[in-house]
């Protein structure tokens, strides 16, 4: 096995598990505590890595662009996603997140006023059918895995990620990917700080139990640092097509892990929706020749 293939598998596992680890952290921690601790810790680790690697982190007037990017990712995306995980299962959340490339395709088509190819259009309709099945006939009922609020929040995360991807196209090549990630973590932490402080002033100090601490540790070290570094190493050594195809396996990892660790089980209708969504992602990736936009939002 090539090293780039191995690191792709590592990234997929890390991002597939991120939904499980977030759910564990939510057992005792608030949304704002989880996101702030996750990204402030990641920014510190990335800073120390940059010192060891002697990376130049100066971006000058580019700071405004970084602030705009950060508002959508990680700030808005993770506020939506982490809140969504309070109401829906990790499996459903990962499958909704997997539709990000579909939303990017649709938004890009409207932006360019140009219809995508016939296979891409078919893929979009397959994905829509999958979403309908995934949300199920109990859409809107306030129970675990079927909460309208959780579904809406998760689609808010998807739209935030899609806008972020489109914005990065305008900034492509201006900054080193490591530098972009460092500033996203740092600025995201600054944006989240007031929410973190206010939350703990009104709701009490942070109380971290062993399961929540473990969830936070894995989110920081694996989902945020290891996943990102592994994926970006892989795309520098292998084709974009291969990298995009591997990402289709992220919800598969979540579904399997959620079943083993959290005993979460998809209904027959939800499973059918999952198959359609993953199929649509495979078709659209193959049709686009691997050029479909992807995002390390996990």
**SS3 category, 227:** helix
Mean pLDDT in residue range 116-142: 72
Per-residue pLDDT tens digits for 225-284: 888 778 767 766 765 556 666 777 888 889 889 989 988 888 888 788 888 888 887 777
pLDDT at 290 exceeding the cut of 80: no
Q: What are phi and psi of 116, to 5 degrees?
A: -75, 175
The whole-model pTM stands at 0.82
- Copy the structure tokens of residue 239: 């084709």
Q: Report the C-alpha gap between 180 and 272 in whole angstroms.
A: 38
How many other C-beta atoms are found inside a 10 Å radius of the C-beta of residue 128? 16
**Cα-based distances in Å from 39 to 136, 226, 248, 278:** 34, 14, 25, 29
């Amino acid at each position: 096995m090539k090293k780039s293939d191995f690191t792709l598998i590592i990234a997929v596992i890390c991002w597939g598990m991120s939904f499980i680890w977030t759910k564990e952290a939510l057992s005792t921690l608030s949304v704002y505590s989880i996101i702030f601790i996750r990204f402030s810790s990641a920014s510190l680790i990335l800073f120390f890595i940059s010192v060891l690697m002697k990376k130049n982190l100066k971006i000058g007037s580019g700071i405004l662009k970084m602030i705009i990017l950060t508002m959508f990712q990680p700030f808005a995306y993770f506020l939506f996603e982490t809140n969504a995980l309070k109401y829906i299962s990790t499996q459903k959340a990962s499958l909704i997140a997997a539709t990000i490339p579909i939303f990017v395709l649709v938004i890009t088509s409207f932006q360019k006023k140009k219809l995508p190819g016939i296979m891409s259009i078919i893929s979009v309709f397959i994905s829509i059918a999958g979403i309908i099945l995934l949300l199920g006939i109990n859409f809107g009922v306030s129970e675990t895995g079927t909460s309208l609020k959780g579904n809406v929040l998760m689609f808010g995360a998807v739209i935030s990620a899609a806008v972020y991807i489109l914005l990065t196209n305008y900034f492509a090549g201006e900054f080193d990917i490591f530098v972009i990630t460092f500033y996203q973590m740092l600025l995201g932490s600054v944006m989240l700080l007031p929410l973190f402080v206010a939350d703990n002033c009104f709701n009490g100090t942070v109380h971290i139990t062993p399961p929540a601490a473990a969830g936070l540790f894995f989110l920081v070290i694996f989902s945020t640092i290891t996943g990102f570094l592994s994926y970006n190493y892989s795309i520098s050594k292998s084709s974009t097509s291969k990298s995009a195809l591997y990402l289709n396996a992220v919800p598969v990892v979540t579904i399997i892990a959620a079943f083993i660790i959290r005993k979460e089980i998809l209904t027959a209708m939800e499973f059918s929706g999952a198959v359609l969504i993953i199929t649509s992602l495979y078709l659209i990736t193959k049709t686009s020749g691997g050029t479909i936009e992807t995002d390390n939002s996990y």
